[in-house]
Structure 1
């Protein structure tokens, strides 16, 4: 028997497989399932972006390798778009690298700076790709929780009510700590870290000379004031690698165009890792994203995108008010966490072993697919076993879908009244 590498040999069936397979099986048996689980958009990018992609495919240079650091036009467009936020001119030649999606950018940052035995602090709940990416670089993951609101099972709470204990964070720092990961706006909570919270984290990193990976892929979807980590102080800026995503910005998650922004000495080594991981990223879609960034302000896209997503969120969450189910009101992004502690599943309900062995939220997710016809993600997938109890009554719903789909989902979800 061929022996696989340990990093992939012991993987349990992941949440995406469980939820999507359950939804597909239910659909095959004749049920209509509305999938609000995985955060892919239910509609196309804006037409000016789609047109740019089509036109790029007709150009010879856009169908060949891009420079490994990314097409200059896209790096220049990113510099033009983000320099006003950073308060200084970003050098497209030395401070930006284009990656094959934000996830590959994150892996490149870990590969560029993490060696065997180095520790990386991640906040729970966490985007699930952080953990295997850190481990593949040889690092050890250290977890610090974001504590849920005390009244989250009885009252609607703001995502800001999920809190980080800075003393707890500092206790997690050791001489081996190499990096802290911040996800802002946060997936799955929707929390936007305040300037004061970010300063607290940043000052600890400056004190202990720790790098910051600031995952800001939802940076265009914020409904309260949003602070970028790298803009806090020059000292914090010099330790920060910022992650961005065209897929999240322009509704095109399948395009796999992301980027890293940081000081030249941080980008240099992240870019070196990126070169060895995939060499370069998709040329015509880089060109299309560049054009999208150049035209977005003229099209009024950023404000309309934010307004439309907040509208979807608010209209969808009306169903929880109807049902009396408390939820976490997000400050950013397009996910909502709903507390399902009031939902009572039949005691004799049969779950397959790979679901019955998992926390209650997996069973809730399965139950909603089979009995209600709506798929949602169980967030304990984003926790360690030690802390998963804090999330076992929640489910995560993605609202980045057409309005008629969300309305149909609301109609199905009203049937939860029968189980309360």
Structure 2
């Protein structure tokens, strides 16, 4: 019989080489720096991570509390999503799509991030290529690479004089010839983000139509991350609404966490063609099977109530005010930035300092 002491020095079998431990990601560095400054007695406002410092609206909190009192809501939800939430999402989005959206076109996910991972897992195969525009939300990259697909980097470029003046999101542009040159027979999808993290850019109709035309021409999917869809300050165009053919190959990502300041609830969704959604469902089933049921019910009620109580409009007005206060500091310092057309981002240019 082998004793535990005689085996304790043997190395363990190993790990997935994709995950390299050691070092620190940007979030750890920012949060640890902020914590160290606070411990030294300095007053610090940590702007490095996008979590809300206030509670979700009371009507949403009350809805979750009510859901917890229903025994069935504390058990596994169906992998597609709770019927009440699927119906509420269809009701919420149908006016935007200008048609009756079917619940067969919706998959509820455990947050928007898991939703995107389910899209990538369900649709990508090793060797496929995915175009991601820089700058980007960092989670896209490992989510794609863990499927065995390859990330191909495109660019959204600022104006040449961004270091000298404050600019708008529309002034960040895509070189369309450069973009099309990235497309190969292996290109399976492109990821776009509007309103954009971290630029604050909202893609305009002309830009979205161009992306849609290229998707049809070269036959690839569009993954449209629209989690900040209710925080826009001008026009907001949804790429899936431009034409039936563009809609057919578009998967739209939504988030209750961003819309209701409830990122800890982990409720997201994917909207797409009813022939494509089953592959997202299949992947979601294997990733986490079921999304928290009481929060699904709470979000369903919150979505329905938000259609009539002016919540989205009031939230936008509050953010416009907060954003003016925020940007006034950098105006005073004389530091140029990109004025966000959506989201709560401020991309500041420190070059001249």
Stretches of structure 1 that go unaligned for 5 or more consecutive residues are: 344-420
Partner of 1:294: 304
CA offsets, 1:300-335, max 9 Å, x none? 101001111111111210111111111100000011
1:55 maps onto 2:66 in alignment: yes
Deviation of 1:55 after TM superposition, in Å, equals 1.3
Partner of 2:261: 251
Rounded Cα–Cα distance in structure 1 between residues aligned with 2:277 and 2:41 = 51
Partner of 2:4: none
Partner of 2:49: 38
Deviation of 1:342 after TM superposition, in Å, equals 3.0
SS of 1:77's partner is helix
SS of 1:178's partner is strand
| Mean Cα deviation higher: 10-19 or 48-57 | 10-19
Deviation of 1:298 after TM superposition, in Å, equals 2.0
1:103 maps onto 2:126 in alignment: no
Partner of 2:40: 29
1:8 maps onto 2:19 in alignment: yes
Rounded Cα–Cα distance in structure 2 between residues aligned with 1:11 and 1:282 = 32
Deviation of 1:11 after TM superposition, in Å, equals 6.7
Partner of 1:262: 272
CA offsets, 1:20-59, max 9 Å, x none? 1111222223322211110111100111011111111111
SS of 1:276's partner is helix
Deviating beyond 3 angstroms after TM superposition, the runs of 4 or more aligned structure 1 residues are: none
| Mean Cα deviation higher: 97-106 or 50-59 | 50-59
Deviation of 1:277 after TM superposition, in Å, equals 0.1
Counterpart contact for 2:92–2:307, Cα < 8 Å: no
1:145 to 134, 143, 155: 155
Partner of 1:158: 168
SS of 1:97's partner is strand
Partner of 1:317: 327
Partner of 2:231: 221
Deviation of 1:12 after TM superposition, in Å, equals 4.2
SS of 1:247's partner is helix
CA offsets, 1:100-127, max 9 Å, x none? 0000000000000101000000000011
Rounded Cα–Cα distance in structure 2 between residues aligned with 1:35 and 1:53 = 29
Partner of 2:6: none
1:166-185 counterparts in 2 under 5 A? 166-185=176-195
SS of 1:83's partner is helix
CA offsets, 1:375-397, max 9 Å, x none? xxxxxxxxxxxxxxxxxxxxxxx
Deviation of 1:130 after TM superposition, in Å, equals 0.4
1:186 to 177, 196, 201: 196
1:332-371 counterparts in 2 under 5 A? 332-343=342-353
In the alignment of these two chains, the number of paired residues is 342
SS of 2:346's partner is strand
Deviation of 1:10 after TM superposition, in Å, equals 5.7
CA offsets, 1:155-203, max 9 Å, x none? 0100111101111111000010001001011000000111000000110
Stretches of structure 2 that go unaligned for 5 or more consecutive residues are: 1-10
1:230 maps onto 2:240 in alignment: yes
Rounded Cα–Cα distance in structure 2 between residues aligned with 1:101 and 1:54 = 20
Counterpart contact for 2:233–2:342, Cα < 8 Å: yes
RMSD of aligned Cα (Å): 1.0
Q: TM-score, normalised on structure 1?
A: 0.80
